[in-house]
Structure 1
Amino acid sequence: MASKEVILTRDGLLKLEQELEHLKTVKRKEVAERIKTAIDFGDISENSEYDDAKNEQAFIEGRIITLEKMLKNAKVIDKNQNDTKTVSIGDTVILKDLEFDEDLEYTIVGYAESNPTQNKISNESPVGEAVLGKQVGETIEVEVPAGNIKYKIIDIKND
């Protein structure tokens, strides 16, 4: 079974590499030290410090494996090669919500980088998928659980 391609911007790639490095060089050592300290307390069968540290160690090791797999399958998007007339991954798009007459700004990224609190939405999300390949002035309709929302593409920023 082939692993899923992970689409990343250069910034996203850098952040994942930094997180992986931090987990391997800092967090692993911190948790190992906590485990050693907990063992030094004696009986580990009822030692909550030991249990907490072992659980954190398992989480860190799982995250390291996940990050390594994502980086191995990474496809980095070069925003400079994007067509500036149509929405591509890595672009920031300004949409007008036609029902509420408000402007929304989203950066379209791969799922690994998506963070709605930072207005970074996945290319696989309903809005992200709907705007890809579209041009300024086009109206799109997005099906969401609450119904359909219509947006007009106001601007595409490729910076």
Structure 2
Amino acid sequence: MSHSVPMTKESFETLQEDLKRLIREERPRVIQDIAEARSHGDLSENAEYDAAKHRQSFIEGRIAELQDKLARAYVVDLSNLKPDKVVFGSTVTLYDTAADEECTYKIVGEDEADIKLGKISCTSPVGKALIGHKLDDSVKVKVPSGLKEYEIVDIKYV
């Protein structure tokens, strides 16, 4: 049995748009490319045909992957919650006591995580440690470089 995948509304909508684009634009385009390459004759030495078939395989695999993720998606709605504790989808501002600086992270699903954009996975050490904590809590997190201590200075649900 497959498990549900938590994701933000934005991520769900992005995956839906990707799926629509693949089905409506990419799939018909590659089918056309295959037909055109076939018309050029001998398929055994036809690089265009091989490339188009490879692209078709990739597109169909991606369509299946997106359909599966969307079918298992559990969209977390934060609109009616009061921002009093860190939950999936929260944007959390932390004060790093050792570095004497603030950092802000949004807690997202594994597929959405991108540290450069300040999005951390709910399954990462920092993400896991923060969930459930309240404003002004001090949170210790075991990270590869040792133990970090953060103070939660702001929680937003955006």
Q: TM-score, normalised by structure 2?
A: 0.92
Cα deviation, 1:92-126, whole Å, max 9, x if unaligned, reads: 00112222122111111122322222212111111
Moved more, 69-78 or 36-45: 36-45
Aligned positions of 1:130-149 closer than 5 A? 130-149=129-148
Give secondary structure in 2 for the equivalent of 1:113.
Answer: coil
Structure 1 counterpart of 2:38: 39
Letter in 2 for 1:90: G
The answer to whether the Cα contact below 8 Å between 1:94 and 1:104 also exists between their aligned partners in 2 is: yes
Instruction: State how many pairs are aligned.
Output: 158
Aligned to 1:115: 114
Please give the root-mean-square deviation of Cα atoms over the aligned residues, in Å: 1.4
Task: For 1:86, give the aligned amino acid.
Answer: K
- Does the CA-based 8 Å contact 1:7-1:112 persist in structure 2? no
Task: Name 1:72's counterpart in structure 2.
Answer: 71
Between 1:68-77 and 1:110-119, the stretch displaced more is 110-119
Give the TM-score taking structure 1 as reference length. Answer: 0.91
Q: Secondary structure at the match of 1:45?
A: helix
Helix, strand or coil: the match of 1:88? Answer: coil
Within 5 Å, which residues of 2 pair with 1:90-109?
90-109=89-108
Give the % identical residues. 40
Q: After the TM superposition, which of the residue ranges 58-67 and 32-41 deviates more from structure 2?
A: 32-41
Residue pair 1:6, 1:112 contacting (<8 A) in 2 also: no
Looking at structure 1, the residues matched to 106 and 93 of structure 2 have their Cα atoms a distance apart, in angstroms, of: 9
Structure 1 regions of 5+ residues with no counterpart?
none
Q: Provide structure 2 residue ranges, at least 5 long, that are not aligned to the other structure.
A: none
Q: Is this contact kept in 2: 1:28–1:57, CA < 8 A?
A: yes
Please state how far the C-alpha of 1:83 moved relative to its aligned partner. 4.1
CA distance in 1, matches of 2:56, 2:153: 47
CA-CA distance at 1:59 after TM superposition = 1.2
Structure 1: distance between partners of 2:48 and 2:140: 52
Q: Distance in 2 between matches of 1:84 and 1:126?
A: 22
